[in-house]
Structure 1
């Protein structure tokens, strides 16, 4: 089986050694195609699109020469074998023969997501290295892998959010064919593969678009990265199509089962039809018609309307990362109250209860950290519309020293938190290595060149200047240098430590909880209604939550998220599903750091 997506821009191999090249360069007077054997002038067409069809076989390397001067890579390059400043390569998607034609994906409510960074997930740091670890993930109970962004970035080390060539999987991880092998191998084990995509900005090095297509950006909106990507100003039609086709390309040509859209609150669009709506509709009406394709948001604004079905149809987006739930759980475990954690510090368990029962903690409520109101009502949404997690790349990697939660809270507290989020009816997401309590940090790392490298290092350290513990410049100087190879190396998982007793115990716990989820909870989620969650506080640290699930089943959690024993809980209903150590026979009083689950009703 062949998979390919026809691109309106870029290099499209036509067969018989011929390729059509197209570049949107409205600010250029002339564009030449530069191949290894020489250069040819391209013809300017409507809207500033330059095109040329000529002899070029798969593997041919090419650049575009702008106005007789600067040579640039193709912004729609399918592969950059010599990094972002080098030539692009012609790729023939038909050269890869897919063998997973029977795969149609999995329902979203079955998802157990595992976020990983290809470069630090395995010793090899490659697509093939990740492929070698799929059996571990399948045995753990993972049903969906989420890859951090792959768009080609400068250098050999990056989280992926500094990508500048959105169609080219970074060559430091392997070839396009090797990425396709990874996707196919995951499907063979019943694992979906999601890709994190960044449509809100380009990285600071290797972005040549302003040279020949300045209308790709607009000054109408400001973003943390400077001028906004142009989704609503003059020329935005081409920009919107560039990103819509990017999403379709990953789904159709690589067989990805869905996308996670980074920081969509930074996608500024005042047009009559927001880009997010157009993107979802194009995907739903395209590859989403023939198989299950899932769309997940990161959205600081908590826009529940994007997750709500319109009429009898499917919602635009399947789910959103539930940062509120993470923040409330993190504060309950650690007591930290700096930055955005301040919004949860007054009553972390109350915020957690609202998240578990209703989705978001902030549903239009005033945010002290932001200074305005945040969010939309979400209690009517079904639980799988929210992705729950205890760790992710942001919440670990944006700490100065990349500490994981096991470095910040007691084992008893972390075990209770894991039992809460892995068995909740929301979709759980693990961060790589979490399942064995990995000792390696996940640090911020990159590989910028020239004058940019020291500026990034300095900027990273200055980010923490407002924190009391980093007020001293000497202390800030100990924050790892993002550009140092050792920072990247320290972030690589140590797979050998899984065999050590303390790590093996964590792995056993995660396997047990995920097996229980698969066997007892997942079958009840497909018919889980929205609006079926209720919560009650027990003192300041105790929590009871109840959900109505499919088939009339009722799921109940009682949790003591503090170190001291706590009374005042209601009596359990139904069969005991799971209890943390020492809480198996608990009645109205729970020991410290305890979580007890019960399941009742016909569907159970």
Structure 2
């Protein structure tokens, strides 16, 4: 771990010893910078080369401060390690070594053991609230929790993608010490902790960088959120790379998920980021790095990353389960069963083909192992970017969803689920923010305008039904009602049956699939009929994993075959029927053929 005086950690307030802090701000467009200590002195920072202002002074942890730019603009530290309250207020000097870690021997888990549970910290009650769920998640078979972004954002509630202070844990969720305690407790239960970080833009309220460091951005390149961040500049690259290292080293996060990297203009930044992370984290630690990348750049897997989110997988399965083909689902409307077969055998569906916009998307991915892809049926985007935030449990037959869940949890790809999936939660996950005045109006109307391409909301009057993101009840409605598991009602029993399915499938994955995943490769997938496929993978020990899947309402005819070891069947005797050429509706049959049998079949 870099020392506290390492010059590569220049951004922000760095505690040098219990009594002294170094303040460093990159402000190339400022003439004068001072640090304003709350209830204390105003201290001038000394100008340095390349636009830096730096001061080392007596200042203990817990001190509240802001920067004053050119005697007229008070701003928080853009690399604030904590905020006293909100994004416009005082930053706080933090001692990263003050927390007494209990599980100091934790080294993480190998990537092939990943079963990821994405959650929203605020919806579960802050850092302390998330802690209360950890034992249940570990007992279910989850091996990693992934926190949606926690960087300080405006207000008290937000998805997290409007963060403006990337180094500061959101103050309404709890303190840095509470975050460390959450991670520590998770490690004690065998759970990895992943953080979703946003390096492609800043939120619309509370980012002052343009006032004193206008070249942090580039006006010649645009993203959906405005001017692109200028990753050509060393100071900018270090700002985000050091941020990754802070989460991994100071907080002991086990991995990072990088949001929408296709909106990062500089193609070299991601490779340097991964290289620096690998250089600065101990080799004995398992550190996971994942990308969300609309471009389906398979080549990124050669640059230090473990996997990419497979949006193609979700989109294909969503069309097959729901029949919806509006907006971006249009790209998956034609021959979705063939697309399912391709993603199971090759990873990405789009590997250079044109989308509905006429743009080529993706790179060849068939050479990658299945563990290079994170598969999901739902995530925050795919639920929350629906106008009314419905989950799949409300959109498709439950039997079909159970079969698709078997595919998710027992395929060799890395499974990810969203909070509530494991017990069939019925609460929506809506888009929510905490903006005010004109910005609140713009966000509300912009949100409703996004759905003009959907048939159900083509009429402006229908779009008025879409919940106001800034209303507190929109956030409250998005909290998963976990207590429903305890209800002695038919609904409570239904929730418990979903939980039992997840536990059963994850037990199977842990016992029969995970030990064989290293070295796994796809052997191909066949279309059996509309909504029905059969996929096979060779596992690392030479055995063959086979999944026969029918998401349709009608049985289909398949080739008769011998099932050696049935790991899971959606309905009793489904596997027996399949041996006689019948695959039931809404059925998943997962079987394992030992390496000895595979060799005998090859010889024959």
TM-score, length-scaled by structure 2: 0.95
Separation in 1 of the partners of 2:219 and 2:110?
41
Alignment of 1:6-85 (within 5 A): 7-36=9-38, 37-85=40-88
Alignment of 1:49-128 (within 5 A): 49-120=52-123, 122=124, 125-128=125-128
Q: Is the 8 A contact 1:151 1:165 kept in 2?
A: yes
Separation in 1 of the partners of 2:197 and 2:50?
27
Separation in 2 of the partners of 1:572 and 1:109?
29
**SS of the residue 1:552 aligns to:** coil
Q: Is the 8 A contact 1:3 1:94 kept in 2?
A: no
**SS of the residue 1:377 aligns to:** coil
- Indicate whether 1:336 and 2:324 are aligned: yes
Shift of 1:38: 2.6
Work out the number of aligned pairs and report it: 586
Alignment of 1:33-432 (within 5 A): 33-36=35-38, 37-120=40-123, 122=124, 125-232=125-232, 236-269=233-266, 274-308=268-302, 315-367=303-355, 369-432=356-419
Separation in 2 of the partners of 1:473 and 1:164?
32
Separation in 2 of the partners of 1:16 and 1:435?
45
**SS of the residue 2:429 aligns to:** coil
Show the counterpart of 2:540: 550
Separation in 2 of the partners of 1:569 and 1:342?
32
Q: Which runs of 5+ in 2 are unaligned?
A: 487-491, 598-604
Show the counterpart of 2:589: 596
Separation in 2 of the partners of 1:158 and 1:463?
18
Task: Pick one of 585, 596, 599 that aligns with 2:576.
Answer: 585
Separation in 1 of the partners of 2:226 and 2:32?
28
Separation in 2 of the partners of 1:542 and 1:572?
19
Alignment of 1:488-499 (within 5 A): 488-499=475-486
Show the counterpart of 2:425: 438
Deviation per residue, 1:520-553 (Å, 9 max, x gap): 100100232x4x3301111222201011011111
CA 1:5–1:457 in structure 2 vs 1: closer, same or farther (change >3 Å)?
A: farther
Shift of 1:4: 7.4
**SS of the residue 2:171 aligns to:** coil
Deviation per residue, 1:405-456 (Å, 9 max, x gap): 0010011110011011110000000100000000110000000133211111
**SS of the residue 2:557 aligns to:** coil
Q: Which runs of 5+ in 1 are unaligned?
A: 309-314
Separation in 1 of the partners of 2:596 and 2:4?
43
- Indicate whether 1:465 and 2:452 are aligned: yes
My pick for the range that moved more, 194-203 or 593-602, is 593-602
Show the counterpart of 1:312: none
CA 1:603–1:269 in structure 2 vs 1: closer, same or farther (change >3 Å)?
A: farther
Separation in 2 of the partners of 1:220 and 1:2?
35
**SS of the residue 2:184 aligns to:** helix
Show the counterpart of 1:526: 518
Separation in 1 of the partners of 2:139 and 2:55?
50
Deviation per residue, 1:480-537 (Å, 9 max, x gap): 0000000000000111111311111111111100111001100100232x4x330111
Separation in 2 of the partners of 1:565 and 1:327?
24
Two-structure CA RMSD over aligned residues (Å): 1.6
CA 1:549–1:127 in structure 2 vs 1: closer, same or farther (change >3 Å)?
A: same
Shift of 1:284: 1.1
Separation in 2 of the partners of 1:581 and 1:602?
27
Q: Is the 8 A contact 1:464 1:476 kept in 2?
A: yes
Deviation per residue, 1:210-257 (Å, 9 max, x gap): 00001100023111011000012xxx1100010110001100000011
Separation in 2 of the partners of 1:3 and 1:419?
47
Q: Is the 8 A contact 2:81 2:169 kept in 1?
A: yes
Show the counterpart of 2:600: none
Separation in 2 of the partners of 1:366 and 1:72?
45
Runs ≥4 in structure 1, deviation > 6 angstroms?
1-5
Deviation per residue, 1:333-379 (Å, 9 max, x gap): 00010112111111112111111111111111222x23121111111
Q: Is the 8 A contact 1:544 1:569 kept in 2?
A: no
Task: Pick one of 501, 504, 508 that aligns with 2:493.
Answer: 501
